[in-house]
């Protein structure tokens, strides 16, 4: 059975599989936004934010950082477009296997 652990704010902090092995571990900043995500292999992704909470940068492991402007493309093939008031106005997801956009 997969197990989930949460912090006092209800944020998911740890996922373990039926064998008790780490699947994913996450940490959050004071605003509840994720700042690190570590997978089962120990690969860590870090997230930094603007003062208003908008995603600024994503860094995966030892790779170079990726700046995130108003139109954001993350490595998982998802695009987020923001309005001038920092609201997500458009979301697109591309499936590499099906070549579809939703």
Output the CA–CA distances (angstroms, integers) from residue 3 to 28, 55, 58, 85, 90, in the order listed. 19, 28, 27, 37, 33
**Cα Rg of the chain, angstroms:** 15
Give me the residue spans of the domains in the chain: 3-61
Global pTM value: 0.59
Contact between 37 and 26 (Cβ < 8 Å): yes
Give me the pLDDT at residue 98, please.
Answer: 44
Residue 26 — very low, low, confident or very high, per pLDDT cuts 50/70/90?
Answer: very high
**Which residues does residue 38 pair with via DSSP β-bridges, in sequence order?**
25, 44
pLDDT at 79: 55
pLDDT (average), residues 26-45: 91
Give SS3 for 33: coil
Number of other CB atoms surrounding residue 83 within 10 Å: 10
Q: pLDDT tens for residues 41-98?
A: 888 988 888 888 888 888 887 665 555 555 444 444 455 566 666 665 555 554 444 4
């Amino acid at each position: 059975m997969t197990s989930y652990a949460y912090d006092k704010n209800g944020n998911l902090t740890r996922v373990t599989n039926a064998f008790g092995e780490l699947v994913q571990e996450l940490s959050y900043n004071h605003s509840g936004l994720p700042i690190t995500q570590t997978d089962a292999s120990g690969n860590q992704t870090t997230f930094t934010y603007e003062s208003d909470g908008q995603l600024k940068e994503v860094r995966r492991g030892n790779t170079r950082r990726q700046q995130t402007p108003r139109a954001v493309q993350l490595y998982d093939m998802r695009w987020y477009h923001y309005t001038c008031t920092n609201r997500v106005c458009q979301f697109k997801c591309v499936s590499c296997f099906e070549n579809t956009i939703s």
